[in-house]
Amino acid sequence: MSRIKLTVAYDGTNYCGWQRQPGGVVTVEGRLNEALSELTKENIEVIGASRTDSGVHAMGNIAVFDTQSRIPAEKFMYALNVRLPEDIRVMKSEQTEDDFHPRHCDCNKTYVYRIYNATVCPPTKRLYAHHEYVALDVEKMKEASNELVGEHNFEAFCSAGSQAKDTVRTIYSISVDKDVDEITIRVNGNGFLYNMVRIIAGTLIEVGKGRKTGEDIKMALETGQRNFAGPTAPARGLTLCEINYENNV
Amino acid sequence: MSRIKLTVAYDGTNYCGWQRQPGGVVTVEGRLNEALSELTKENIEVIGASRTDSGVHAMGNIAVFDTQSRIPAEKFMYALNVRLPEDIRVMKSEQTEDDFHPRHCDCNKTYVYRIYNATVCPPTKRLYAHHEYVALDVEKMKEASNELVGEHNFEAFCSAGSQAKDTVRTIYSISVDKDVDEITIRVNGNGFLYNMVRIIAGTLIEVGKGRKTGEDIKMALETGQRNFAGPTAPARGLTLCEINYENNV
């Protein structure tokens, strides 16, 4: 038996998120399980690293599964891609340690939140960016975003319904950049609470509009009160870019 | 009565091209006519600058129409966008000369053809780039593309079914650039024959694979024979970026 690690990219537009659900709901995990079970003739259920929400995209989510199949690990990528819809792609497949678990092993994750900031959003951008027509002050967003870096209690940046008991996380870096009309917020950290990146994006958008400041972010982190942070920005702007396991293959 | 000029962007994925067709086929022109007629209560039929093919995208196609409406020219953008599907956007609306005709006035057009050149195409790129998994030699493509610049008889770069009698066109500039895995071919010229940019792209892809050279392009231009050029590259890689009218508003 061997444990295979998949790096999975998807366009989240047409999926009810990553996690398999009852009742015929189409999810990325569900599609992967179907393709793998068809390929190996085994009953495969992958373990995913990140249960992305409905509409959220990924360039590098991670999934593992165990198989008796003799298909070489690196060939799973090709064999799966012919069985998967075009909006899900396995970018890499490789053998991993038998005890590697994508949610229990130490890692850092990088998310990107894209904002299209112009009067009108060009149609070819609409699926992968949140359209914000009010002109945002990117310098203010950059400055305020520094307050989030470091180890903090991010309780205020977590949607109701989260099961997390420990709400302390570390953000290693955050950047806000503008290229013509596109603003990109890139966040790297050791873990993220439910909707945390979308609430960070929603808060920084409020800062860009002059409705909130770095002081509000400080207060949110100190008090843990959700109302100091901004609203949850829409799913389509969010992409899980990369999950990096420091000590594991 | 006033003549209004619209700058129109669209994601061509779900349209049977620009041009209105009989039989309930969904086209960009058809959708624009519907939205305009609903808005003005007039029976409006726009005149488009470029009849893009099924699946081709646009950032700046041009359409004009005449109206008795008192809606200020620059407000049509907002009024139309609330009536149009999200994959068609009016980027600009303005009044123009009464004799301005988007196909009869001198202009230059810029097209971009995008190639995603890697083993696997990430899902979020799939709709707006042609996936080519064979590694392309971009330097060879750049060099060969120079043969196309200038005034030439582009008969060999024109699909059967074209009604053009005069097949002489001028390409002012062409560039081939690579950014990580994305190759962008940008062509600016005074006019383009049916499928001309897609055949140029298909030819340069053959050059990038080492199957054709600049000499084949020279021969294609000299003889007008279609077989010296490469195949027609897929529609999804093509975007009509800009139409620039030199002497008209």
Contact predicate A90/A197, CB 8 Å: no
In a domain, B85, yes or no: yes
**Taking the CA of residue A199 as centre, how many other CA atoms within 13 Å lie in the half-sphere pointing to its CB?**
21
Domain region containing B234: 108-244
The CA-CA-CA angle for residues A173, A50, A46, to 5°, reads 150
Answer yes or no: B98 catalytic.
Answer: no
B141 shares a domain with B235: yes
In a domain, A114, yes or no: yes
Q: Which of B63, B96, B129 is the last residue of a domain?
A: B96
A88 phi/psi in degrees, rounded to 5? -130, 130
Residue A138 is encoded by which pair of tokens?
């990117």
A43 shares a domain with A159: no
In a domain, A232, yes or no: yes
In a domain, A249, yes or no: no
B43-65 burial, b for 16+ CB within 10 Å, e for fewer? ebebbbbbbbbebbbbbbbbbbb
B113 shares a domain with B178: yes
| Helix and strand element counts for chain A (H, E) | 5, 10
The CA-CA-CA angle for residues B95, B100, B102, to 5°, reads 100
A131 shares a domain with A77: no
Mean pLDDT (chain A, rounded): 95
- Rounded mean pLDDT, A75-88: 98
CATH number, domain with residue B56: 3.30.70.580
Asked if A89 and B121 come within 8 Å (Cβ–Cβ), the reply is yes
The minimal CB distance from A86 to the residues B86, B91, B126 is found for B126
H helices within A57-175, ranges in order?
76-81, 138-145
Local confidence pLDDT in tens for the 249 residues of chain B:
999 999 999 999 999 999 987 787 899 999 999 999 999 999 999 999 999 999 999 999 999 999 999 999 999 999 999 999 999 999 999 999 999 999 998 899 999 999 999 999 999 999 999 999 999 999 999 999 999 999 999 999 999 877 778 999 999 999 999 999 999 999 999 999 999 999 999 999 999 999 999 999 999 999 999 999 999 999 999 999 999 997 544
| pLDDT tens digits, one per residue of B111-169 | 999 999 999 999 999 999 999 999 999 999 999 999 999 999 999 999 987 777 899 99
Contact predicate A115/A203, CB 8 Å: no
Element of type H or E holding B57: strand B57-67
Asked if A123 and B90 come within 8 Å (Cβ–Cβ), the reply is no
Element of type H or E holding A204: helix A196-208
Distance, in angstroms, between B215 CA and closest chain A CA? Answer: 36
A89 shares a domain with A125: no
Q: Which of A74, A96, A118 is the last residue of a domain?
A: A96
Using CA atoms, how far apart are residues A20 and A45, in angstroms rounded to an integer? 10
Q: Which positions in chain A touch B116 (Cβ < 8 Å)?
A: none
Tally of domains in chain A:
2
Which residue is closest to A239 within chain B, CA to CA? Answer: B124
Which residue is catalytic, options B53, B106, B137, B216?
B53
User: If we measure between CA atoms, which residue out of A163, A221, A6 comes closest to residue A93?
Assistant: A6
Asked if A11 and B126 come within 8 Å (Cβ–Cβ), the reply is yes
B115 shares a domain with B92: no
Contact predicate A3/A95, CB 8 Å: yes
Residue B106 is encoded by which pair of tokens?
């001198």
Note the pLDDT of residue B164.
77
A34 shares a domain with A144: no
* pLDDT at residue A211 tops 50: yes
A115 shares a domain with A51: no
| pLDDT tens digits, one per residue of A132-150 | 999 999 999 999 999 999 9
Contact predicate A209/A240, CB 8 Å: no
Non-local CB neighbours of A28 within 8 Å, separated by 6+ positions: A8, A10, A12, A15, A17, A18, A52, A58, A61, A88
Q: Mean pLDDT check: name the lowest of A52-61, A223-232, B12-21.
A: B12-21
* Residue B200 β-bridge partners: none
The minimal CB distance from A126 to the residues B59, B86, B121 is found for B86
Asked if B91 and A122 come within 8 Å (Cβ–Cβ), the reply is yes
CATH number, domain with residue A228: 3.30.70.660
Which residue is closest to B77 within chain A, CA to CA? Answer: A120
Q: Is A178 exposed, middle or buried (0-12, 13-18, 19+ CB in 10 A)?
A: middle
For residue A227, how many other CB atoms are within 10 A of its CB?
10
A118 shares a domain with A37: no
Q: Which of A96, A125, A140 is the last residue of a domain?
A: A96
The minimal CB distance from B57 to the residues A119, A121, A124 is found for A124
In a domain, B103, yes or no: no
Contact predicate A35/A107, CB 8 Å: no
Asked if A86 and B10 come within 8 Å (Cβ–Cβ), the reply is no
A125 shares a domain with A90: no
B58 phi/psi in degrees, rounded to 5? -145, 145
Using CA atoms, how far apart are residues B98 and A185, in angstroms rounded to an integer? 46
In a domain, B102, yes or no: no
Asked if A123 and B10 come within 8 Å (Cβ–Cβ), the reply is yes
For residue A47, how many other CB atoms are within 10 A of its CB?
16
Residue A241 is encoded by which pair of tokens?
């870019």
A135 shares a domain with A72: no
Catalytic residues of A: 53
* pLDDT at residue A163 tops 80: no
Note the pLDDT of residue B78.
97
A138 shares a domain with A92: no
3-state SS class at B171 = strand
Q: Which positions in chain A touch B127 (Cβ < 8 Å)?
A: 124, 127
For chain A, the distance separating the N- and C-terminal CA atoms, rounded to the nearest angstrom, is 17
Contact pairs from chain A to chain B, CB under 8 Å: 60
The minimal CB distance from B11 to the residues A9, A10, A123 is found for A123
Asked if B87 and A123 come within 8 Å (Cβ–Cβ), the reply is yes
* Residue B152 β-bridge partners: B169
Asked if B9 and A81 come within 8 Å (Cβ–Cβ), the reply is no
- Own/partner pairs for B115-121, CB < 8 Å, 24+ apart? B115/B182, B115/B183, B115/B184, B115/B185, B115/B201, B115/B205, B115/B233, B115/B237, B116/B181, B116/B182, B116/B183, B117/B178, B117/B181, B117/B182, B117/B183, B118/B181, B120/A9, B120/A77, B120/A81, B120/A89, B120/A90, B120/A91, B121/A89
Contact predicate A105/A248, CB 8 Å: yes
Q: Which positions in chain B touch A238 (Cβ < 8 Å)?
A: none
Q: Which positions in chain A touch B87 (Cβ < 8 Å)?
A: 123, 126
